[in-house]
A and B are shown apart, each in its own frame.
Chain A
Amino acid sequence: MGILTAIAWRNLWRHPTRTVLTSLTMGLGVAFCIFMASWIGGFLDVMRTATVDRNLGHLQIHHKDYPETMNPYDVVPQAQSVIEGLQDKPDVKIVAPRIQAFGMYAGAKDEAASGSFVGVDPEAEKNLTEMHKRVRKGRWLKNSREAVIGHRLAKELNLDVGGELLVVVNALDGSIGNQVYPVVGIYNSGMLERDGGAMFPLQDAQELFAMGDGVHELVVLTQAEEKIETVQNSTTNAYPDLAVRTWYEISPETKQMEDLTAVTSFFFYFIIMAISGFMVVNTLLMSVYERTRELGLFASLGLPPKRVVMMILIESGLLGVLSSLLGLGFGLLGHLFLANYGITMEIKEGEGFILNGVVLDPVIFGQLNMTQAIIPLVIVMFVSVVAGLWPARRAVKLDPVVALAQE
């Protein structure tokens, strides 16, 4: 075995340029896979942050008809006791109530705009979605009788922090709810709909809509991703009349995107597999042809065909290892660059892609887990060895007499 490995190594370096070019090509394939995995990981993270962390939470609870009708009258029955019940569960981290509606807004002039109206518990929302970090000017909600407005609404109404926002809504008792609130902050939530509207403290919203202590939505953050379904099941059992949905049931697109990228990665793996296979076959077949005389000599000296096969497989295996190491090096370099500097994909200033009405962050930083880096390495080594079988078979099939006669 030792001598075979030595011979195989020597054989590889008889044509250093060829070996280096082959392993570089295969290595770049590996590096590309690692780099893509890092980029896709970063993209998924950005997407998840924008949809799940900043808005949906892990679970959402509504009146059973609300998801379909979005009817403002369909409030969560006995919301307060549901909230308390949830907060008692050890798997639940935060519960945030919301009112989701529409309002008409006006600033100093009587020109009005319509947009989303969201009533929130400022403290709970701060802990759950970190909305306070999305405030670009002024501050997040703190006291009653104040409003924060989306940057799109601010622009439309030409309204700034310190200004007054007139809100007019169709209250649930049929009256016209109207109120003026001081604007304490302007936010950029990244959600187109929300950025065209405004947010208010829960009690003010309930008063304006004449809806008592009703709420439309409870957003739940669990302690960990894998607790989501446990909490969903226990909540559904406790309140069979409520619609309790996970974030991936509410936004299957986000989940589908994750699945889609898994398929894409598989596609890349397949390509490097094919490239590596053909490169190895090509390189070693050439090498076998060049060594016809030498292989004939081995055979006539009595080297068993098994050993010849072994020698060639070691050659292809070494080629695979060489390529993998080069690929890992380049790939990690690429990933490190991506993780530190990121790639900016701005559609508009400060805004990235828009996915289902959600603006993604413009800069994507690489994210890689070790499995994703190792899979292409394993694939390349495996394919190299398997591809070596073809030239090996050819080497064994040589007739020693004919081979020795060749120039």
Chain B
Amino acid sequence: MYFIVSSLIILSTPAPAAAGTVPTSDQLKALLTQVDDNGRSNSSHVVMSMRVQTKRFSRKMKMESWSKGKEHSLIRLMDPPKDRGVATLKVGDKLWNYLPNTDRTMRVPSAMMSGAWMGSHVSNDDLVREYRLSEDYTYAMAPGSASLGSERYTIRCTPKPETPVVWGHIDVTVTAKGVPEKQEFYSEKGKKVRTMTYSDVKEVSGIQVPHKMVIQPHDKPNELTEMVFHSLKLNIPIEDSRFSLQALRD
């Protein structure tokens, strides 16, 4: 969940680049740090719905999620009834699922990390990945960014050789105020693999947060996963004990 929430929650800091000028490398870094940080040092509590549309099935889920720092998150399904109580706990780079049906917890084996999470277009790996655009990638203005005007930029982030990700590069479109609008993921061969689009920006605790995110895989044009925040609380106190196998069952 960290991945989802952190991509959405943006710290509201002053615009790094003056309107009409090309941002410097430092300013790009500042923008990416905003996209990265997204409440990383904060805690959050979200109630959201998730709609998965695939060629084979359409599925709507409602869930609740808690996160604290970058190491901890917990997501629990509230709906549909069949999956009510199914929960995923992330601690560091490990992932556990709780299955109320059988009252058991199971650590997700590494071989299944690339599998879909809850049938969506988010993989288990996406949930635990910890790379920062501003540190683990090199960045530059993407070609065509200038045509967007001075209100938004598209920044091309290319993973550093030591960053073990599957992407060739990621084009991040961010407003001058540091609110993400779009992230486009490209394969190592330069083919666009998926797009995440952010919209419905609302202010929460003085922070501009998009409340809707759509993930579209490009090899499956009619499929998508859509997430909508219904309620979002930031910087609330959460006990560390919430992120334990014991709490996973409750």
Contacts and interface: CB of A to CB of B under 8 A. Distances in A.
A120 interface: no
B83 A110 contact: no
Contacts of A178: 99, 101-102, 104
Interface in B118-171: 118-120
A172 B56 contact: yes
A99 interface: no
A102 to B, nearest CB: 8
Interface in B222-239: none
A173 B120 CA distance: 11
B119 A106 contact: no
Contact of B104 (A113, A166, A172): A166
B59 A166 contact: no
B106 interface: yes
Interface in A36-90: 73
A110 B96 contact: yes
A104 B109 contact: yes
Given A110-B245, A174-B59, A104 B106 contact: yes
B112 A179 contact: no
14 contacts: A104-B109, A110-B107, A166-B104, A170-B115, A170-B119, A172-B57, A174-B59, A174-B118, A174-B119, A175-B59, A175-B82, A176-B86, A176-B118, A179-B101
B104 A114 contact: no
B83 A114 contact: no
Nearest to B102: A180
Contact of A173 (B57, B96, B115): B57
Which label, helix, strand, loop or mixed, suits the secondary structure of the A interface?
Answer: strand
A180 B101 CA distance: 9
Interface in A81-125: 104, 106, 110-114
Contact of B105 (A110, A174, A176): A110
Given A104-B109, A112-B109, A180 B57 contact: no
Interface of B: 52, 54, 56-57, 59, 80, 82-83, 86, 96-97, 99, 101-102, 104-109, 111-112, 115-116, 118-120, 245
A178 B104 CA distance: 10
Contacts of A174: 52, 54, 56-57, 59, 118-120
A168 interface: yes
A170 B102 contact: no
Nearest to B103: A180
A327 to B, nearest CB: 55
A106 B109 CA distance: 10
Enumerate the 5 nearest inter-chain pairs by beta-carbon distance, A residue then B residue, closest first. Answer: A174-B119, A174-B59, A178-B99, A114-B111, A180-B102
Contacts of B115: 170
A243 B245 CA distance: 46
B106 A179 contact: no
Given A104-B106, A110-B106, A170-B115, 18 more contacts: A104-B109, A106-B104, A110-B104, A110-B105, A112-B107, A166-B104, A168-B97, A170-B116, A172-B56, A173-B59, A174-B56, A174-B120, A175-B80, A176-B86, A178-B101, A178-B102, A179-B101, A179-B102
Contacts of B119: 170-171, 173-176
Contacts of B108: 104, 112
Nearest to A177: B101
Nearest to A71: B56
A176 B83 contact: yes
A329 to B, nearest CB: 57
A111 B112 CA distance: 13
B110 to A, nearest CB: 9
Contacts of A176: 83, 86, 97, 99, 118-119
A258 B244 CA distance: 57
B126 to A, nearest CB: 15
B99 A168 contact: yes
B104 to A, nearest CB: 5
Interface string A111-141: 1111000000000000000000000000000
A164 to B, nearest CB: 9
A111 B118 CA distance: 20
Interface in A355-383: none
Contacts of A104: 106, 108-109, 112
Contacts of A179: 101-102
A166 B104 CA distance: 8
Contacts of B104: 106, 110, 166, 178, 180
Contacts of A166: 99, 102, 104, 106
Interface in A149-198: 166, 168, 170-176, 178-180
Nearest to A108: B104
B100 to A, nearest CB: 9
